[in-house]
């Protein structure tokens, strides 16, 4: 995000990259709202199934100067069944339209790049018996009722198996709320319950081949 540098004592001679970013931030909030209308049933219970989050902002070299560059980095959620290229195109179109509506950004548009990991969506095919096999095994092994099936708002390796045509679902111990944090943990009881569930799943699916 470009700005125009100037000394803070004469800031009217510059253009703050922070100020220039603000209309883009508002446009991205609108894009997130649009992308979360009518989510797939598996994702409907989440307040924001496909989050668009700006995680870092870096701008300025000195407190007494007008910053001439801002770098924003974040995360764009891919909708269930959506090609990542489509999600990227929607994002880039949103940024381009916001720049076109702003006098400064019209002549100095923001540049969008796509570094870091990129995750496609994935899902078990509708009606596939694997979901019932896992639910029944859980009931037989642990006896705490059938687990409900729902989507996840984060990326995982499920997408790789699904993309290769291998029916896949996620099941296991732990809580995503504490993943990748200082409190990351998985209870031994959950690990044992998961193992007691997965053993009959393996036996029952292998036996059906």
Helix, coil or strand: residue 146: coil
What CATH number does the domain containing 197 carry? 1.10.150
Task: Let me know whether 10 and 95 are in one domain.
Answer: yes
**Domain presence at residue 46:** yes
Helix, coil or strand: residue 4: strand
Domain that holds residue 178: 130-207
Look at the alpha carbons of 86, 91, 97, 100 in this order and tell me if their dihedral is positive or negative: negative
Task: Let me know whether 174 and 88 are in one domain.
Answer: no
Whether residue 48 contacts residue 33, with contact meaning beta carbons closer than 8 Å, is answered with no
Structure tokens at 26: 């508002």
- C-alpha dist (Å) from residue 207 to 57, 66, 200, 201, 203: 54, 69, 10, 10, 6
**Global pTM?**
0.87
Q: What is the largest CA-CA distance in the chain?
A: 77
**Domain presence at residue 137:** yes
Whether residue 34 contacts residue 93, with contact meaning beta carbons closer than 8 Å, is answered with no
Tens of pLDDT, residue by residue over 54-104, are: 999 999 999 999 999 999 999 999 999 999 999 999 999 999 999 999 999
Task: Let me know whether 101 and 135 are in one domain.
Answer: no
Mean pLDDT for back-to-back runs of 10 residues, the chain (209 residues): 94 96 98 96 95 96 96 96 96 98 97 93 92 92 83 91 92 90 93 94 77
């Amino acid at each position: 995000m470009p700005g125009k540098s100037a000394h803070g004592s004469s800031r009217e001679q510059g253009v703050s990259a922070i100020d220039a970013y603000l209309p883009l931030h508002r446009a991205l909030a609108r894009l997130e709202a649009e992308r979360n209308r009518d989510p797939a049933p598996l994702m409907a219970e989440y307040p924001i199934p496909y989050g668009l989050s700006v995680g870092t902002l870096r701008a300025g070299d000195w407190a007494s100067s007008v910053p001439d560059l801002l770098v924003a980095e974040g995360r764009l959620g891919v909708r269930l069944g959506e090609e990542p290229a489509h999600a990227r195109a929607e994002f880039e179109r949103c940024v381009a339209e916001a720049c076109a509506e702003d006098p400064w950004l019209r002549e100095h548009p923001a540049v969008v790049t796509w570094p870091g990991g990129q995750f496609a969506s994935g899902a078990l095919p509708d009606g596939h018996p694997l979901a019932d096999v896992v639910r029944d095994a859980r009931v037989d092994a642990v006896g705490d009722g059938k687990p409900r099936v729902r989507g996840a708002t984060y990326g995982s390796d499920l997408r790789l198996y699904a993309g290769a045509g291998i029916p896949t679902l996620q099941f296991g111990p732990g809580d995503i709320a504490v993943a990748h944090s200082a409190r990351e943990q998985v209870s031994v009881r959950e690990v044992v319950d998961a193992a007691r569930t997965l053993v009959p799943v393996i036996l029952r699916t292998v036996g059906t081949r």
